[in-house]
Amino acid sequence: MAAENNREKKLPAAAFKTSVPKRIGQILAFVGVFILMIAITLFMMLKVICAYGASKTTFITTVLESGQMKFLASLVMSESEIQEIVDGTKLGDIGDVSINEGLITLPRPSIDGEKPSEEEIDMSRIEIIEIAGITYKATLMIVQDPSRVSVATTALGPDEWPEEGGVTLKGHVERAGAIGGVNGGLFNAEHYNGDHAYGILVSNGVVYRNEPQELSGIVLVGLTNDNILQIIDVSRMSPAQSLQMIREKGIRDAVCFQEAAGFDNNHFVQLVINGVPREVKGAGSGLNPRTAIGQRADGAIMLLVTDGRGSSGHVGASAADLIEIMTRYGAVNAANLDGGSSTAMYYNGGYLQNSVTFYYSHSSWQLPDAFVVK
């Protein structure tokens, strides 16, 4: 009897040991089925979204501008269908138009200690303007003195980048001894650490990267020694030609972004050139967080960011939105910069706009460069 009791006491433990792998298998099977159901549901939702004209266009153009979600477009549509949508919404061809520097007249600075006259402008003025759109919230920083705006970078030398990658926008601002800034140009985000800039990067007259054909449609956006904003298509230049152009125009600070409207990408750069807004087909793009830079006729630099991707309930701004804002506030020239999860604005000790990525919700991505305001 005692032996039987002992055997009975051991059976539950043995049975438990035997059931552990089975229970783990059941749990894994449940998780797998649950994930599959979610995937199928999301796929069906995408199919429903893409069944309607306006929503289909917005969805496709929006995801093509993202860094990691481009594949969603090809899940529900063919390359030819995607290209047709992009062609129907992209911005008009800008052509080979150069910046007319004569349209920018830098004011005579006020004398220290004296109130500026009508002919003078307070060059120390920085204005922060909140703008509410239907699908976005925007913040516009207007810096009266363009010489205060430059590019900060983590580059250690020409094409020499730190192993740990870039720093946050706050880090760039603080390292430069600046008061504010926004994220800059296109960069390698493969490891989410702001590894290095793409295209061309110039900071305080030093050329840290010079690969104008590294990606298709590379456009330089920067400032000259005379504090004039330049927006130059360098995509057909060799490194020798772009370096010569940088020297001849006296480019002191510059980053790059990409003009590309295809089934695998949907980027745009030029917004306003020589006072003429770029032609827009539809919204001109999808809806996303945005960063842009512009210059008024009086030389003031305009730094603009918008939210999106669910932040504060907003989906984001379109190319048409950026053009409307820039022209409304007097931009003679304006360009789109890297946006999406990279978009951020920092000013006077805090973020006015954070990254929309969950794990950077109180900061920004690590960036290899940024426009800063000293």
- At 49 the pLDDT is 47
Distance CA 142, CA 304 (A): 9
Angle 281-287-289 (CA atoms, 0-180°, nearest 5)?
130
Is the pLDDT score of 297 beyond 90?
yes
Q: Please state the three-class secondary structure of 274-286 as a single string.
A: CCEECCECCCCCC
Range of weakest confidence among 112-121, 289-298, 349-358: 112-121
- At 77 the pLDDT is 77
pLDDT band (50, 70, 90) for residue 14:
low
Q: The pTM is what?
A: 0.84
- At 118 the pLDDT is 54
Bridge partners (DSSP) listed for residue 207 = 202
Cβ-Cβ contacts under 8 Å for 155 (sequence gap 6 or more)? 161, 196, 197, 201, 203, 208, 209, 368, 369
pLDDT band (50, 70, 90) for residue 18:
low
* The CA-based dihedral angle spanning residues 284, 288, 289, 294, taken in that order and rounded to the nearest 10 degrees: -10
Is the pLDDT score of 3 beyond 70?
no
Range of weakest confidence among 97-101, 190-194, 313-317, 324-328: 190-194
Counting Cβ atoms within 10 Å, is residue 264 exposed (0-12), middle (13-18) or buried (19+)? middle
The amino acid present at 219, given as its one-letter code, is V
Distance CA 339, CA 305 (A): 8
Range of weakest confidence among 59-63, 145-149, 200-204, 307-311: 59-63
Mean pLDDT for all residues in the chain: 85
